[in-house]
Structure 1
């Protein structure tokens, strides 16, 4: 009897300790601007727990499946345009950014959605002529099929982007007009025929290759409440629903600009992203830099704030050597609250990042910028900046993106030109109070 009482007492103490520990881990840390958490009193404990879980999870999903995930069949499957599922949030995105030491810069992004809806943008920076962009901007929406039929290609609005060799070669074509950036808008005929080529199938997969320590840092700053534990239970499902990888290479080809033909050769990268979990309306902010150095190296640095996904400030990025080897960033002092939190991106930025092998001092100077709106209802506003940079004394050129929430909606003078079938769908969507809809009916 005494033994049972003692056992019950010990069990009760253990339960109490577990409850106390969970309560302590769930304490909300101090916040900057009521959004960005600082390191709480139990940050170090939570960091090591998160790091251990992440490493175990990545081993189970990726490391022990390296042969399968690196096979030609798997790479061919993920690199081609994806078949959009019945999920109304299904998406497939391919983007390119490039620059050279002379200052030429190019950005192309195309996002396929169901029923032939395409969200596309093109920016071309010519040092002697200035910045030019696709004519629909700041709106990105194109309708590429009749009556909302499905599309299986990155094509429409004068664009055609397609795969030529798996994980090696993509072709970018555009034929149409581009408009100048400034108070006086000029439209000029432009034709692009560019080829992106990577030296190998090596690529940087964000689910697999982001630094575990950077992710653990973000997780350790948050309050570990019921929402957190629910997210952990569904992490396998989340990983399956989001794929995003990037690949460095060379972008080169012919440009015919207003009757003048010339050849462009730039260092660049492409990214491919697809799945069903890309809800822009849930993103608070993000900042993203793609920098291409005169020595042939490149780097990506970013910071994403998506509190609804339990990540109020997730730092990301990597350095790519001239030979195409990727090293993830392990530390970064780029904090969102220090750069453009009021809604206006800064014209200069200085910050430090590290990999396991090296520290990098990055200095950014903005040369030109433009605005576009992302989402079918303009849920987000993006400032695209075209920059010069210095990294540890090495000069370079590149791009920056600052994304903010936008609540102004898509203007009536633009949406009124949409096809009637699309206007009907959007009107019905706005009347919904729940997202419990029939498959095949809606686009978000």
Structure 2
């Protein structure tokens, strides 16, 4: 009897302390910390994600979308230009990155919008020459895009075979980042190819990282409506890019490690995004990785996502990452020399980052998003070298208020 009394008293005291415990204040008023209901919400959302994965497995071929579900029943339906939704901020975007061991970089992207508008950009970095930028950078608003095509004004990305082959093309003037008054004629013709599996962030991400992100947030009917309406389908894939770059008549033949992604959804509103950091790593031992930390306060203020391809091509989701947004460039100026660690496939990777080139471009009709594109060298676990691209995103409306732009 005494044991039962002590147990009930202990449970009552624990409940009193828990209910009376205040929720922690978000770091810098933005980044949520785990609160008193964190573990309960984690468990509940874990069950939700497992059930959605089960539904996805049982209803293959049915057009259902969302967390835990494939956006399309076939690869042919996924890996092509998508029909834009009727929303004014409807989007369909592809992005490509590639590097070589000796220091060439290629980066290009096209975000399809309504009325033939594309947010398009292209970068080329050539050893001994430097970084070159497509003519409209830092702006990226291009016009005259044809229906169901990625690109405009000399930039084109063409799907050839789903999840296997894309054509990458650029032709036009580029300005030199270290001498903006100098321009060069540049032509890029390349073929991105892969026989590796793609990583679908809806179905392949570690459930634990998603549950941790959702459990931090304050739950309400409005919150889950935001979560539903802001959802975007997104997948990535590593491969190779064989390309010819002609710079003022001089030809370079490149054999690159390469990355691509494809995102689409009902809408993309850059004003909702506070910040993100992404690192795409191409290591000399054949390891490749994509690691990201995202802060979109209306859905997840701290979301860590990503994956690693081991040298043999096996694919593992991110388990954890210690990269914190608020510790890296929160004032609008990203660090040029920093480090972070992450784990995937049972291996811990400790990454040193050293920036070679850096450029800024904007996305959105009102320049709502400021992207700091960084072309970097990596040093992993003290012994493996590599190169890659990192992107620091800032909400430009916030930057204007801070006076950093």
Fold match by TM threshold 0.5: yes
**Which SS does the other structure have where 2:24 is aligned?**
coil
1:388 deviates by: 0.2
Structure 1 range deviating more: 80-89 or 266-275: 80-89
Q: Which of 371, 374, 377 is the equivalent residue of 1:388? A: 377
Give deviations 1:210-266, integer Å, cap 9, x for gaps: 11111111112222344335557xx4x665xx2110111001121111110120111
* 2:144 match: 144
User: 2 CA distance for matches of 1:135 and 1:26?
Assistant: 56
Relative to structure 1, is the Cα distance of residues 91 and 25 closer, same or farther in structure 2, using a 3 angstrom cutoff? farther
Q: Deviations over 1:87-116 (max 9, x none)?
A: 222111111011121111111010111110
Q: Which residue of 2 aligns with 1:132?
A: 132
Counterpart pick for 1:277 among 258, 261, 267? 267
2:88 corresponds to: 88
Q: Is the 8 A contact 1:29 1:222 kept in 2?
A: no
| TM-superposed deviation, 1:86 | 2.2
Q: Distance in 2 between matches of 1:358 and 1:66?
A: 33
2:356 paired residue number = 367
1:169 aligns with 2:165: yes
**Residue correspondence of structure 1 range 210-289 to structure 2 within 5 A:** 210-230=205-225, 235=228, 242-289=232-279
For 2:208 and 2:21, locate their aligned partners in 1 and report how far apart those are by CA, in whole Å. Answer: 20
Aligned length: 379
Q: Write the distance in 1 (CA, Å) between the matches of 2:24 and 2:235.
A: 32
* Residue from 297, 304, 321 that aligns with 1:332: 321
1:344 and 1:259 map into 2 onto residues whose CA distance is 37
- Select the residue among 23, 26, 30 that pairs with 1:35: 30
Partner of 2:201: 206
Unaligned runs of 5+ in 1: 1-16, 411-444
Corresponding residue for residue 292 of structure 1: 282
- DSSP-derived class of the 2:213 partner: helix
**Runs of 5+ consecutive residues of structure 2 not aligned to the other structure:** 1-11, 63-68, 401-405
Q: Is the 8 Å Cα contact of residues 271 and 397 (structure 2) preserved in structure 1? A: no
In structure 1, distance between residues paired with 2:154 and 2:120 = 10
Given the superposition, is the C-alpha separation of residues 231 and 254 from structure 1 closer, same or farther in structure 2, using an over 3 Å criterion?
Answer: closer
- Name the SS of the counterpart of 1:228 in structure 2: helix
Question: Per the alignment, do residues 56 and 372 of structure 1 end up closer, same or farther by CA in structure 2, a change over 3 Å counting?
Answer: same
Question: Cα–Cα, structure 1 residues 25 and 373, in superposed 2: closer, same or farther, change >3 Å?
Answer: farther
Could you say if the C-alpha distance between residues 86 and 45 of structure 1 is closer, same or farther in structure 2, counting changes exceeding 3 Å?
A: closer
CA contact (8 A) 1:28 1:223 kept: no
1:181 counterpart = 2:181: no
CA distance in 1, matches of 2:375, 2:363: 18
- Aligned equivalents of 1:336 and 1:26: distance in 2? 27
Shift of 1:323: 3.5
Q: Is the aligned partner of 1:302 residue 2:298?
A: no
Tell me which residue corresponds to 1:155.
151
Change (3 A) 1:257 1:28: same
Comparing both structures, which one devotes a greater share of its residues to strand? 2
Q: 1:25 to 1:140 in 2, by over 3 A?
A: farther
- CA shift in 2, pair 1:134/1:408, >3 Å: farther
TM-score using structure 1 length: 0.80
Q: Which runs of structure 1 show a deviation greater than 6 angstroms over 4 or more consecutive aligned residues? A: 67-73
CA distance in 2, matches of 1:88, 1:70: 24
Normalization by structure 2: what TM-score? 0.87
Secondary structure of 1:31's match? Answer: coil
For residues 31 and 256 of structure 1, do their structure 2 counterparts lie closer, same or farther at Cα, with a shift above 3 Å needed?
same
1:183 is displaced (CA, Å) by: 4.4
On the 8 A contact 2:92/2:111 being kept in 1, the answer is: yes
Distance 1:260 1:271, change over 3 A: same
Separation of aligned partners in 1, 2:224 and 2:72:
36
Over 3 Å counting, the alpha-carbon distance change for 1:56 and 1:27 in structure 2 is farther
| Larger helix proportion of the pair | 1
Residue 112 of structure 1 corresponds to which residue in structure 2?
112
Larger of the two Rg values belongs to structure: 1
Farther off after superposition, 116-125 or 213-222 = 213-222
1:310-364: CA deviations, max 9, x gaps?
x111111110123332211011111101100111000112111112411111111
Contact 2:84 2:266 (8 Å CA) reproduced: no
Per-residue displacement from partner, 1:262-288 (whole Å, max 9, x unpaired)?
201110111011112321111011111
Q: 1:26 to 1:313 in 2, by over 3 A?
A: farther
